[in-house]
Structure 1
Amino acid sequence: MIKGISKIRNLGVYDNYTKPAGIKEFGVKNLIYGWNYSGKTTLSRLFAQLESKTTNTDLSGSSFTIETDEGPITEKNFTQTNQTVRVFNSDFIRDNLNFAGQSFKPILLLGKESEEAQKKLDHCEDLSKRTQEKLRGFTKEASEIESDFSSAKTSAAANIKKTLGLVEAYTATHLSRDITTISNLEDSQLQNEDKFRGDLKLSLTSDSERPITVEKIAIYPSIDELHKDAVALLALTPNLANTIEHLAENPLIEGWVEKGLPIHSGKDKCEFCGGDLSKHRLAELQAHFSKDLADHKRKVDDLYKRIKAAKVSITLPREVEFNPHFRDKFRETVVSLSGAIETFNIAMEMLAADVQQKIDAPFKIQEPTVLPEGIAQAIIDAVSAVNQVIDDNNQIAFNFTKAKQDAIKRAKLHLVQVFIDEQAKVGREAKVERLMVKQDRLNRFAAIVEQECDKLRAIISHAQLGREDINTRLISMLGGEAVQINVVPEGGQEQFQLIRKNGRPAKNLSDGEKTAIAFSYFLTKLKELKPEKFKDTIVYIDDPISSLDANHIFQVTAAIREFFFHQVQNNGNLEWTTICKQLFVSTHNFEFLSLLREVKPDSQKKAPLYLIKRIKLLGSSLEDMPVSLSRYASEYHFLFEVIYRFHEAPDKTDHEVLMLLPNAVRRFVELYTYSRLPGVSKETVDQRAETLFGKEKAKRILKVFHYFSHANSIDRLTGNNELIFDVEHAVNDLLSAIRSEDPLHWEALIQAVSVE
């Protein structure tokens, strides 16, 4: 067992380290805390030399003395030491893993080889082979269906292009897009035959056949009023007081006499027979043809003329004036209109004939023929139908390009819908769906078979066992989508390769993934040691949680607890100890350190705590963890102790005091101001400090530490001794502000760093 490190010379940042007086001996669990660049990795490389039994070329020329219970190990005899050591650090990751997608060394774990396992594997692989053949058959059948569908789409697309006379390309790809479009619509895109035929005609109409606007027609048929007048007039007769009965009963004679009466005015001889014409007879005749009769005949004649004039005649647009899209509809509406006009005009003729009879026999009461119902409205409706066709035609004439495009779109979707419906009839989708169900079921079975094959191979293959162990850890750390290890043959040997879930080599890994993979690999590789050998092994782990979030830090801690610790019987009691001989863990993460401290054993003797810190440019020190760190589960007290020690130090230029100061002040101010002003997470430490200390004092406190903080602080401090005075004043300002503005907090901090 390693008990301590007496000295280190010329080893990285350990220029001249000597074991501090009173430092605790190493126990079975050793936790080492230190900020970045403090010397943790360099210390791990010292342990790595004990593992490899060779000198690290980067550390050549160094000397060291390591105390063990079997005597000291030095740079002169470490190659002969019988200590078994395993180290996890950045060098281990570099030498063992490949994060660029290439293969790397496998971990060979002992399996249980047996003929029975091989027999089962042979059967399993045969079953897998037959399953894959069946899957290939399904794939072929699905491919044939898809090929037929593809050919049908190609043919349908060509037909659509030809049918619509499309100039632009329309291929199976375009058809597929239109099928997708229709599938997202609620209604079928099928049109009735007339609508589709009309859209098709418009689609095929060339620009040279662009329709012209057509004048609408206007007809105002009127028969009801005329019929009403006829009913009234045909029922009237002239005054019969001076009527000559013979004439009234003989309308032809009456008409003949009426026409000849003016010729005989003032004459005494009859122009027809030459006989005497008495004045008395002329007076009788003139009395017969009275004003009342004349008025009556005039009204009847006027009605007759009105009826004749009311007959409907119309000049229709020529059919050729219409877009071909509307010609059939125009022809159809014209037939209806012509029929309505003919019916109307026949009724007019009948009414005129009735009036003519009245003209011929004015003293005879007559009744006109009853009119058919709605003959005028029929004309009005027919005219409206014709005008609607004209409006539709004119609308296209006004906006021909868009109307044609819309018609092409509707006609195209109609034809695509026809194609979809035809495919539905042949049951393509149902066949594909049934095949997919079968394939899915068989794929699940194939996966189960392959898993069983992997298990059997793992029994036979040492590398497979290592792969499974690492993959289990990766899933635990990174989840189900984690990068996995695959075993690949290379040069007749098995190698490891990192793959993604899709089976492709894993490249461009995140830092967190690299850390999880590397640490899982390291833990699994430890299993190459037989249990009795591992029990005598010293393990050093350097920062296994780099770039991992808080949740993964818990998982790494759990993995370490499970892998390295167990309970043993000691004098009848169960006590916690390490499974290996000793465990060293170094980290810069205080949260991780706190979690490891909770892992038993946790006594100071079995689980001592250490601090590595830089005390000068090439000087780091390993010492017992200060009370301010070991007493509390926070580095806040330690940060304050560093600042307070500088404040109290008589020599402010002491490098050991100065080394931690810039980062300590900056981090302390961040934590202190955030605890006082936690409300706005986006505010910077400078903004919070200005709020608490005032702009001038905050700038004085932080400016110098912003300049000196981070890894180059020693270089700047050693090269700027004239600025030490500013550092001292900044610390004084900070502590004075807390003491005066926050006395309770100040007293608690002083008490915390004063407890020994």
Structure 2
Amino acid sequence: MTIIKRIDISNFGSYKNFKWKDTIKNDKNEVVDFKKLNILYGRNYSGKTTLSRIFRALETKNIPQDFSPCNFLLKTDSGDISHSNVVTNQLDIRVYNSDFTGQNLSFLSDNDGKINPFAILGEDNTEIERKVEEITSFLGDSEQKIGLFYQKSLKYVEYIKAKQVADNRQSELDQKLKNKANVPKIGIKYKYSLPTYNVNALAKDIKLVQNESYTELSGAEIIKLNALRQDKELDEVTKRVNLQSNFKSLYDSAKTLIESNIKPSKPIQDLLDNYLLNEWVKNGRKLHESVDTCSFCGNPLPADLWKKLDAHFDQESEDLEQKIIALTTKVNREMSLLSDDVDIEVSQLYSEYKDQFEQEKKNLKRAVKDYKINLVNINKCLQEKKEDIFSSKVIIPLVDVTENFTNIAQEINNIIDLSNQKTTSLNKEQEKAKKKLVWNEVSTFLQEIQYDDELKAIETLSEAVTVSYKKDQEIAEQIKAKEDERALLLTQLHDETKGADKVNQYLNNFFGHEGLKLEATEEAGGRAFKFEIKRGNQLAKNLSEGECSLVAFCYFMAKLEDSESQDKKLIIYIDDPISSLDSNHIFFIYSLIETLIAKPTGQNENGKNIFGYDQLFISTHNLDFLKYLKRMTKPSKAEGSEQFLISNKNTGSSIEIMPKYLRNYVTEFNYLFGEIYTCSDETNKVTHYNSFYNFGNNLRKFLEAFLFFKYPFSQDESKDHNLRVEKFFADDLGAEPLVQRIVNEFSHLSEQFDRSVEPIDHAEIARLAQFVLKKLKDNDEEQFDCLTESVNFN
């Protein structure tokens, strides 16, 4: 049980720098606290509803938007509550004010608004409660390690662990793929200068290389493609390889000469048998044509020597020898003209053709070498024939390699042509090479990380996740089914229709208002209700102010018995339940409060009353209602009750102990007399400036009541009051006009607008108040003394 004792309000609406201990004091100058029962009176706009909003902030745990920033402090017997920690307060408090009505019964002010439903605990719920308890027990508690909730927690942990393992495995693979695609320097993006390459591009390449039609590159192909990527645009090669061969002609001529068969006229046998001797003689013959002596031995040459030699070395052999010599010269010339050196550098060609070019150069050297060997063999055969010209010879058979090296030369020229042509398609070829290399690298990468095995492992882990998730969800569905079953049972415990019935009970039994009723109507789906106000069978609209207040207050009273308030002792704050426009229901509202809240609910073992509330606050602007509130059942003297006055002073709204005249008599007549008496002392203008501003109205209303009973005549309703004033102040010259002027000027501004912009003349008001009080005393001193006593000014 917590009791609110005091409140300090530094800033909240009309309250500024209000300190409880400086204001709320009794006649002994002792600070008075809130009690169990607290009645607050204040005129309209004095600050009653503003004060109630602080209490409602404790209920809603939220500061009203229009009052922020603010500053207040409530002192309770269990600690302080301020604007800064209102959200964490633990008070069970219910507040009835205009904000409560606006939040819960917006329909009263807006036909498109709504009335929030509430439920009241049903009756005969023993069996339902048993079933609810059975379901609750079956559901168990995860912390206590029992029931479905505990099983669910175990399955959920299994699911999370399985998911974490699968996620980690997938994350590891994803990271490998990401690194392969994007990691600086070695990633495909940087290695192959592909600025937009990413994991998505890698995924596409993976799909491509996993196709059955894809074939990996060989080492040689990789080298070749990498070389192509490094190629720069080259100048055109204009040189060509041009080799010509006379092999067939030379061979045929040699064959003819070598295989020709001639005989000398009279051969000298010794010469025929000895080639060297034959050559020695032949050369000597040429040297001795003009001499008679042998240059070798010095002897004279025989006379028939020349004839014998001419017969041996005849013209036919001479001609054949000359032909052999001439053909040998041609063969040697063929050999000298035939070069195996290609005057083209390999660097002039693109890398794609370099190897083939080098190979063909080697082939060409080999072919030229073979050709020269053939020529050497031809010369050898010719030389042999020349040395033994009269012998029959056969030329050795030789293979014609001319076609071979001619083809090789043509192949070299083709390579040059292809390299020249490549300049125009180099970029495209390099892009193709780059793609092939990327695909090959992707394929190699997949093998390195065992990609397929990794996918299978992840798939297995994912299947385990799915299984564990299904098990978790199976229990979750069981829990939901049980919770739905329990919720359905609880709706039978908490019946919204009984809430509406309770409101109608209060409307009918306490107010006899059978025209209006509240109905609980099921919304779509049948699992929720809405409240509607009906007049008869029709939706009630355009309710009067009094009807709105009536329905709203009955709703609040019924809501004190809703499922959220059941079995709780509440702090209850009721702000101004009587409408300013409809005071017909004062007694009925009082009866409702007295019967349902204020009366004791029983007695304890010591015979002391037990009340159903912890603390009760009721504020009003209506003096008639205040009069009834004074009759309300009071708590024990120990718990106490207190009455307070809320007024709007020059410094802002203020709370104080209720004056004695209001506390004891509670009639407007006493109250008005007290206000006039207050204004008779000009020094009260600081603490009771509101009384001075209302002086004109208060004096008019007091004189109307007082003079009507003194002079109860009626001649002309519009003039009766003025006549009574004239009659009462007739003995005092000039008094009646002064009273009429003050009453008119301070009660009405329509014809005295300039009064609204001028300050109050406190001294003039004080003098008039003193004059009226003196006149009352002179007229009936005994009555005056009683009135003075009633307002505690004797």
TM-score (structure 2 length as normaliser): 0.47
Larger radius of gyration: 2
Q: What TM-score comes out, normalization by structure 1 length?
A: 0.50
